[in-house]
A = this chain, B = another copy of it.
Amino acid sequence: MADTAVTMEKIVNLSKRRGFVFPSSEIYGGLGSCWDYGPLGVELKRNVKAAWWRDTVTSRPDIVGLDASILMHPDVWVASGHVSNFTDPMVDCKLCKGRFRADKLEDSVCPKKPSKQPGQCDGELTEARNFNLMFKTHMGPVEDSGASVYLRPETAQGIFVNFVNVVNSARMKPPFGIAQQGKSFRNEITPGNFLFRTREFEQMELEFFVKPGEDDAWYIYWRDRRLAWYKAYGIRAERLRLRDHGGDELAHYAKGCADVEYEFPIGWQELEGIANRTDFDLKAHINQSGKDLSFFDADSKERYVPYVIEPSAGADRSTLAFLVDAYDEDGPEDDRRVVLRFHPSLAPIKVAVLPLMRKGGLPEKAQEIVEMLRPHAAVSYDQAGSIGRRYRRQDEIGTPFGITVDYETLEDDTVTLRDRDSMEQKRVAISELVDIITKAIAPPSLAAGLAP
């Protein structure tokens, strides 16, 4: 019996073949750990990001958005601790000049003697030195250290440095949040596992500011709510878990931290971390900048530095999780199909319109239905190959609905509507299609409750 279990290899292959994800710069041999989203992947990721933005920002009165630049003043990263602490310990081999993570030597191989690990070959290793994981570049025409800037390693700091600007311009008061989506860059020594760990990646971060003393309740609220979010968009409950960090795992600034983890084919891995960062970041920027970033409550006449609850998700690894989780193979062994069971609101294409034959007026009628549906749902048209083969093609990219136009359609304006998951087909009137499909692809309702 063929193995129908999902593997990373199946996902990588399907991604390239059907246009979800391509290796970056592939015609030049690729660029380590960089990936390009193809026509279907870009829509899937856009849908994931739109779902997060809708549920985190536009559907809530207590959260506003922000979009800070990737290049920031270097002092930001002094204040945040990234210049001093965002490092991995590295050793160099004096013989082969290779550089390796000192704490992962047993996972590394000598480039000249691949059967050995560094230090066990003929080479001598240097003492461990700290290697900063931020990408550095130079701004302006002069390449001196005064012009050095970093590509941001996280979007969060763009929110903290704008805290006062947002409070003043948007008249927000705690409890309230500032949310951001955008690219970050980390010069990881060992990226890998497809989209899971890449040096260029996109984050979806929320910094939620609360009065000290109210932070424990909000921490629990966001921890539970973020887990529920992935479930609402269809991730299987048995492949999701919340894992609370033990005291020895906690960052020095964090009062509490939990990871939403997903069981990838490579094992349980973090999708998102929810942390109680206390007032660490705002206080760090107060100290570094000399500016007052406290909040004054005009009602209670109290002044305080808010605590921050941070749900920090990866847009690429979430997209990967939705892709992996959607993957299924079913049917009898002699007639297997691959199907991506995306939540309809996340599927890149919502409906495919298929004329049964390429003649007799069926293509023209099908095109009319395409244009009718286009303002309401991402729609594609396919007339190439047998109808069974066309269904399978749509199953493999996760299209929730197939509409077949046949000779009966020309007589009574009905079509066959096929459901991706059950493969059931039913006859419906063309006039019902917009209503049926817009209802089916609507976003899920999240659990009510905007506060702990």
- Write the residues of chain A forming the contact surface with B, with a CB cutoff of 8 angstroms: 16-19, 22, 24-32, 34-43, 45-46, 53, 58-59, 61, 64-73, 75-76, 90, 97, 99, 131, 135-142, 149, 151, 158, 161-162, 164-166, 169-171, 178, 183, 185, 187, 189, 199-200, 285, 288-289, 291, 293, 370, 374-375, 378, 380-381, 384
B66→A38 contact, CB < 8 A: yes
A17, A37, A73, A380: most-surrounded residue (chain B CB, <10 A): A73
Task: State the Cβ distance, A237 to closest chain B Cβ, in Å.
Answer: 26
Give the residue name and chain of the B residue nearest to A38 (CB).
B169
Chain B residue at smallest Cβ distance from A443: B375
Please give the count of copies of this chain that the complex contains: 2
Can you list 11 A-B pairs, Cβ within 8 angstroms, ordered by A? A17-B169, A19-B166, A27-B164, A36-B66, A37-B67, A42-B65, A42-B66, A58-B378, A61-B370, A71-B200, A99-B142
Judging by beta carbons under 8 Å apart, are A141 and B58 in contact?
Answer: no
**A183 CA to B70 CA, complexed, in Å:** 9
Q: Which residues of B contact A45 (CB under 8 A)?
A: 67
A31 touches B72 (CB 8 A): yes
Q: Which residues of B are found within 8 Å of A16, using beta-carbon distances?
A: 165, 169
- Residues on B with C-beta less than 8 A from A53 are 46
On whether the beta carbons of A138 and B141 are closer than 8 Å, the reply is: no
Among B34, B151, B293, B375, point to the contact of A69 (Cβ < 8 A): B34
Cross-chain contact A28 with B166 (CB below 8 angstroms): no
Partner among B67, B141, B162, B165 whose Cβ is within 8 Å of the Cβ of A99:
B141
Asked whether, in the complex, the Cβ of A36 is within 8 Å of the Cβ of B139, the reply is no
Contact A39 B64 (CB under 8 A): yes
Q: Are A165 and B22 CB-contacts (below 8 A) given A36-B67, A136-B137?
A: yes
Q: Is the beta-carbon distance between B139 and A199 smaller than 8 angstroms? A: yes
- Contact partners of A27 in chain B: CB under 8 A: 161, 164, 285, 289, 291, 293
Contact partners of A293 in chain B: CB under 8 A: 27
Residue of B nearest to A76 (CB): B25
Interchain CB contact under 8 A, B32 and A139? yes
**Are A75 and B151 in contact, with the CB atoms below 8 A?**
no
Residues on B with C-beta less than 8 A from A140 are: 32, 187, 189
Contacts of A75 in B (CB 8 A): 25, 28
Cβ contact within 8 Å between A31 and B187: no
The answer on a CB contact under 8 Å between B131 and A141 is: yes
> In the complex, what distance in Å separates the CA atom of A26 from the CA atom of B45?
32
B71 and A31 contact, CB distance less than 8 A: yes
